[in-house]
Structure 1
């Protein structure tokens, strides 16, 4: 008889969709960059430590993912510099 092993501890993730809250938190932190994420979450009206921790952790994942996407876009969209040897002779002449 085959059965799945018993998992110990708390399950990962709550399944709660916090995308709108994370977007509001991100906007609040952009407007007030001097705030820390936990302080901003409290200003949004959350007082439950579990909710604050959940939002803070999800925001950390959100910012990490956003930074990775931005660096990937910047690397892919970076213009290539032309070397002087690739320039046309007319472009190299002064006064034209």
Structure 2
């Protein structure tokens, strides 16, 4: 008899699309790099602690994904620069 483990607390994820808020938050933090994410979120007009926590946690994931994508792009461009045949092939494909 298979039982799924009983999970406590709220399920992960709210289902709220915060992509526009993440973009605004990212832009605000780029303009003011000395500012912390929580302070920037408060400056955006959020005062509910749950909303601040949700946005802060999503921003952490957002920045991590952005860094991973940038690393992949840098590695891909470095491998193309290291191999002249790949560089020539990509030039003909464009």
Query: Relative to 1, partners in 2 of residues 1:28 and 1:2: Cα closer, same or farther, differing over 3 Å?
Result: same
Partner of 2:63: 63
**Higher Cα Rg, which structure:** 1
State the TM-score, normalized to the length of structure 2.
0.78
* CA displacement at 1:9 relative to structure 2: 1.6
Structure 1: runs of 5+ lacking an equivalent: 83-96
Write the distance in 2 (CA, Å) between the matches of 1:4 and 1:80. Answer: 50
* CA displacement at 1:27 relative to structure 2: 0.4
Partner of 1:89: none
User: 1:1-96 to 2 correspondence within 5 Å?
Assistant: 6-78=6-78, 79-80=81-82
- Quick check: which one's helix share is greater? 2
CA RMSD of aligned residues (A): 1.9
Count of matched residue pairs: 82
Structure 2: runs of 5+ lacking an equivalent: 85-94
* CA displacement at 1:80 relative to structure 2: 1.4
The Cα offsets for residues 28-76 of structure 1, whole Å up to 9 and x where unpaired, read as 0011111000000000000000000000000000000000000110011
* CA displacement at 1:8 relative to structure 2: 2.3
State the TM-score, normalized to the length of structure 1.
0.76
